[in-house]
Amino acid sequence: MNTIWTEKYRPKIFTDVKGQRDIVKKVEALVKQKNLPHLLFAGPPGIGKTTLALFIARALFGDGWHTNFLELNASDERGIDIIRHKVKDFARTKALGDVPFKIIYLDECDALTREAQQALRRTMENYTQTTRFILSANYSSKIIDPIQSRCAIFRFKPLSKEDIIGIIDHIAKEEGLKIDQKIKEVLFEVSEGDVRRVENILQSCAAMGKEINEELVFSLASVAKPKEIKKALELALKNKFAEARNELLNIMLRYGLSGLDVIKQIQKEILELDLDGRKKMELVAACGEAEFRMTEGSDEYIQLEALLAKVALEGLK
């Protein structure tokens, strides 16, 4: 098997990863030495955890990476049986080729039950000679400490505006899309650094036409325009409570938003209002209270009206 580490192939692997440059450099050094510890990739969705795991497999095993790489989604198979059977059966056999270990990639492993994590801890101990584990989690705090202590932990962060816009430019060039700078910034705002979401929005927009506009992005992203949310809040501040309520209800119906979707956008726009710092803090605290009540099952419309009433009262002070 030809090694992947040649000048011909190397540029096609880790240099293709957008963002996470510090993590990529460290992982690249480990892979080049073929001395990989167990890894734990932690961070929000859509920022490259699975992609980097696949790049590691390609870099180590070349064309034969499929036979030495097992990918499982722990949220689908979260019980102890998946660890006792699938993982253990794959881990106990030796790798093919000149790399002395296989790789098991467990995606969303924070969904594993505690019993399954205890079984995984023992499997990681017993099969270190033949297998390396790459665990991926949105919340590393949900992984038991014995597993965390056995892994090199890499914490991923949402991609920067520069990286997101670079990806948008690449997609626009390949697909023949017309996207101006303002729309690129809108895409970054609605994606919040999630590349997967950017790509899904662009794919949906491209189905409607080659020219991407602001209205299309917001409607397909199921996000209200910030200026519309701000308008509703400003109406409440001016003691026009009924108008503010109707405006917010129309926004929710127009974009098909839930109360939790709206509350997150309201919280962002509160910081842009022409209020002193103390009033902003009180309104942000009110957002937190309303969000908590919604998650506990309270009626979202009543909670949003109560929040607008709080905004109106702050405007009267």
- Cα-based distances in Å from 130 to 61, 126, 304, 305: 14, 9, 55, 59
Q: 259, 304 in Cβ contact below 8 A?
A: yes
Q: Where are the alpha helices (DSSP H) in the chain?
A: 21-32, 49-61, 80-82, 88-91, 114-126, 145-149, 161-175, 181-191, 195-208, 214-220, 226-237, 241-255, 259-270, 277-295, 300-316
Looking at the structure, tell me whether residues 210 and 233 fall in a common domain. Answer: no
2 is a domain residue? no
Looking at the structure, tell me whether residues 178 and 234 fall in a common domain. Answer: no
Q: 158, 63 in Cβ contact below 8 A?
A: no
Q: Is the model's pLDDT at 9 over the cut of 80?
A: no
Closest CA to 62 of 132, 4, 12: 4
Q: 103, 70 in Cβ contact below 8 A?
A: yes
Question: What's 232's domain CATH number?
Answer: 1.20.272.10
When pLDDT is cut at 50, 70 and 90, the band that residue 296 belongs to is very high
pLDDT score recorded for residue 3: 41
Question: What's 103's domain CATH number?
Answer: 3.40.50.300
Looking at the structure, tell me whether residues 149 and 27 fall in a common domain. Answer: yes
pLDDT, mean of residues 282-306: 92
pLDDT, mean of residues 278-297: 92
Closest CA to 153 of 140, 139, 144, 163: 140
Looking at the structure, tell me whether residues 15 and 136 fall in a common domain. Answer: yes
Q: Is the model's pLDDT at 87 over the cut of 90?
A: no
Range of the domain at 193: 161-220
5 is a domain residue? no
Of 108, 124, 155, the residue that ends a domain is 155
pLDDT score recorded for residue 302: 92
CA dist., res. 230 & res. 235, Å (int): 9
3 is a domain residue? no
- Cα-based distances in Å from 200 to 47, 49, 106, 209: 14, 18, 24, 15
Q: 92: helix, coil or strand?
A: coil
pLDDT score recorded for residue 1: 34
pLDDT score recorded for residue 303: 93
Q: Is the model's pLDDT at 4 over the cut of 70?
A: no
Q: Any idea which residue has 């665990």 for tokens?
A: 135
Give me the amino acid identity at 282: E
- pLDDT one-digit tens code per residue, 196-212: 889 899 988 888 888 88
- pLDDT one-digit tens code per residue, 211-257: 888 888 888 887 888 889 999 999 999 989 999 999 999 988 888 88
Looking at the structure, tell me whether residues 239 and 118 fall in a common domain. Answer: no
Looking at the structure, tell me whether residues 33 and 125 fall in a common domain. Answer: yes
Q: Is the model's pLDDT at 292 over the cut of 90?
A: yes
307 is a domain residue? yes
- Report DSSP letters for 214-274, one per residue: HHHHHHHTT---HHHHHHHHHHHHTT-HHHHHHHHHHHHHHHT--HHHHHHHHHHHHTTSS
When pLDDT is cut at 50, 70 and 90, the band that residue 24 belongs to is confident
Looking at the structure, tell me whether residues 21 and 140 fall in a common domain. Answer: yes
Of 187, 203, 220, the residue that ends a domain is 220
Between 12 and 296, the higher pLDDT residue: 296
CA dist., res. 197 & res. 202, Å (int): 9
Q: Is the model's pLDDT at 116 over the cut of 50?
A: yes
CA dist., res. 65 & res. 57, Å (int): 6
Q: 274, 265 in Cβ contact below 8 A?
A: no
Q: Is the model's pLDDT at 21 over the cut of 90?
A: no
- pLDDT one-digit tens code per residue, 151-162: 999 999 888 888
Which tokens hold the place of 297? 């099952």
Share of the chain above pLDDT 90, in %: 23
pLDDT score recorded for residue 144: 92
Q: Rounded to 5 degrees, what are φ and ψ at 256?
A: 65, 45
Provide the 10 A C-beta neighbour count for residue 225. Answer: 18
pLDDT, mean of residues 76-83: 61
CA dist., res. 84 & res. 86, Å (int): 7
Which tokens hold the place of 64? 């034969």
Looking at the structure, tell me whether residues 93 and 206 fall in a common domain. Answer: no
Q: Is the model's pLDDT at 291 over the cut of 90?
A: yes
Q: 231, 308 in Cβ contact below 8 A?
A: no
pLDDT score recorded for residue 12: 53
When pLDDT is cut at 50, 70 and 90, the band that residue 83 belongs to is low
Mean pLDDT of the chain: 84
pLDDT, mean of residues 275-304: 91
Domains of the chain: total: 3
